[in-house]
Chains A and B, each alone.
Chain A
C-alpha cells in the first residue's frame, strides 16, 4: 500500500515568489492536513481538507492557501514568500479527519522549502 507522497522534496525560492506543493494521500483517505515544521516552532497546523472542503485552519496569514481535488490529492500554495517561510512542510492523511474524530494520521516525507 503506497504511503503519503509529497512533491517536490526540495525547493529553493527567492523572496516574493510563490510556490505550490503537492500531496497525494493514502488511497481511500479523504482527509489531508498540512503542517509547517521549523526548529523554533515545531509542528504547526496550517489547514485541513476533507472531501474538497477546507474544514479547519490554523493561525497563518492569508498568503498560505490550499485546495483539495476530487481524487483527494491536495496542493498548498504560498504567495509572496518571506525568509521566515523556510521550513519543512508536511502533509498528513487520515480516514476520518480532524473534525469528525481523527483516526491515525500518516505523514509524508515533507517538502523542504528554502527561501533566499
Chain B
C-alpha cells in the first residue's frame, strides 16, 4: 500500500464546475499537507499549504484536511480552462515529504 493514494484520473469537467480532488494517506504522524499544480513540462507550483485539520481558502481554491480519517481534499470553484493541469497532493512529517501520483484535470469550455 502506498503511503499517499491519489486517483490519477483523468478528470474532465465543464467550465464553471466545482472540482473535488482527493488523497488519502496512511501515516497518522504526517503533520503538514500541500497541494501543487503542475502544467505540462513545468515544475510543480505550490497552491496550498496547511498543517492542521479543517479548511483553508485561497480565492477559488479550498484545501480541506481531516486527520481523523487521513483524508485531504482540494476544491476548485468556478473552474476555468486555465486550471487544466495535474494536481499533486503532498504530505509528510519528520524526515519525509511524500507525493501522490497526481490527478490530471481537464476543464473544457
* B95, CB-defined interface residue at 8 Å: yes
The size bracket of the interface on A is 20 to 34
- Candidate in A43, A55, A56, A110 with the most chain B CB atoms within 10 angstroms: A43
Contact check, A99 vs B94: say whether CB atoms are below 8 A apart. Answer: yes
Give the interface SS of chain B, mostly helix, strand, loop or mixed.
strand
CB distance from B51 to the nearest CB of A (A): 8
Query: B43 touching A43 by the CB < 8 A rule?
Result: no
- Tell me if B31 and A101 are in contact (CB < 8 A): yes
Chain B neighbourhood of A45, CB < 8 A: 96-98
List of A residues within 8 angstroms of B95 by Cβ? 55-56, 98-99
Contacting residues, chain A, for B65 (C-beta < 8 A): none
Chain A nearest CB from B30 CB (Å) reads 11
Q: How many A-B residue pairs have CB under 8 A?
A: 55
B99: interface (CB < 8 Å) = yes
Return A108 CB to nearest CB of chain B, in Å. Answer: 5
The distance in angstroms between the C-alpha atoms of A42 and B41, with both chains bound, is: 14
Contact residues in B for A112 (Cβ distance below 8 Å): 41
| Interface residue? B60 (CB, 8 A) | no
- Give how many B residues have a beta carbon under 8 Å from the other chain's beta carbons: 24
Asked if B88 is at the interface (CB within 8 A of a chain A CB), the reply is yes
Given contacts A43-B88, A99-B94, contact A105 B46 (CB under 8 A): yes
Contact between A104 and B45 (Cβ–Cβ < 8 Å)?
Answer: no
* A107-B102 in contact (CB<8A): no
**CB contact under 8 A between A107 and B43, given known A42-B102, A102-B32:** yes
Query: Is B19 part of the contact surface with A, judged by Cβ < 8 Å?
Result: no
- Known interface pairs A33-B97, A56-B95, A105-B90; 18 further A-B residue pairs with C-beta atoms within 8 A, sorted by A's residue number: A4-B43, A42-B101, A43-B102, A45-B97, A56-B96, A90-B43, A98-B95, A98-B96, A98-B97, A99-B94, A101-B94, A104-B46, A107-B36, A107-B43, A107-B45, A108-B43, A109-B42, A112-B41
B interface residue numbers (CB < 8 A to A): 31-32, 34, 36, 41-46, 49, 88, 90, 92-102
